[in-house]
Structure 1
């Protein structure tokens, strides 16, 4: 499964406003809820439970909040570029401005880890991250996500 199978161009959000980590997770849950038909409150609940285990802020301005969801039949991802960096309790203490929400079906643990690993690998690529921060629109950003996936596949 590739990143483009999980994040569609409709699931790329630019200039999302955020007033902190809790509000950001709620806003992402509302956006995801509209696309997958699961109540936003349920999504916030699983994301919050995951964050209690340790922040999903990877550092360098990137976070990948993720969780397994009961009732989800296929993986779902949403990419958000924030209008301003948001405190996220990242491992390096830096605020985040690039966020990938990843929701996976409960019954697919290996698939969950594979998709999460691909996204994390892409977001550690400084050139790819710089491009994502500069992309003019959702289509361009989505194309960079896909190209990043191809570049990573060639390396792996």
Structure 2
């Protein structure tokens, strides 16, 4: 592996880590994520991010089971990968593969050209989220700082 390998800790910023967000639907969560990315970097269009996330969901739900979703999309004009971690106040329907509602969401927005990095990150995330105790610790975080710390420091 080279030093340029993307890891979760270099794509997730503390200000894009959010705890106990109120969201009534999958659409609302995706809107919230897109708006939050736009607030973090106003050069990125929240509408474009939202539309790309929705288009990706139409291909098949990114709900991977056990209350977890990893919505992701490519974005024209983006030059780095953006991660957003959100825990939800209440679980929502996400058409997940196990039909369970989702309360843990990690969104991944990648440059249009990114391919192998994108897949590598998705597999890193899936591996981490496959660990039930890790997910429980994320869900128990009471504030964004704790959630961020647990996401980037705990190894599965």
Identify the TM-score tier after normalising by the shorter chain.
Answer: over 0.9
Instruction: Check if 1:16 corresponds to 2:34.
Output: no
Cα deviation, 1:93-147, whole Å, max 9, x if unaligned, reads 1110000110000111101111111111111111110100111221211111112
Cα deviation, 1:1-37, whole Å, max 9, x if unaligned, reads 1101011111111111111111211111111111233
Aligned to 2:39: 34
Aligned to 2:142: 136
Alignment of 1:22-61 (within 5 A): 22-36=27-41, 37-61=43-67
Structure 2 Cα separation of the partners of residues 25 and 15 of structure 1? 15
Give the structure-2-normalised TM-score.
0.92
Identify unmatched segments of 5+ residues in structure 1: none
- Tell me the secondary structure at the aligned position of residue 61 of structure 2: coil
Give the structure-1-normalised TM-score.
0.92
Q: Paired residue for 1:7, among 12, 27, 52? A: 12
Structure 2 Cα separation of the partners of residues 27 and 140 of structure 1? 21
Structure 1 Cα separation of the partners of residues 30 and 146 of structure 2? 24
Equivalent residue pairs, number: 150
Structure 2 Cα separation of the partners of residues 135 and 15 of structure 1? 9
Structure 1 Cα separation of the partners of residues 57 and 111 of structure 2? 18
Aligned to 1:111: 117
Aligned to 1:84: 90
Q: C-alpha root-mean-square deviation of aligned residues, in Å?
A: 1.0
Runs of 4+ in 1 over 6 A off after TM superposition: none
Structure 2 Cα separation of the partners of residues 19 and 127 of structure 1? 26
Cα deviation, 1:37-94, whole Å, max 9, x if unaligned, reads 3111101111111011100001110000001111111000110000100111000111
- Tell me the secondary structure at the aligned position of residue 46 of structure 1: helix
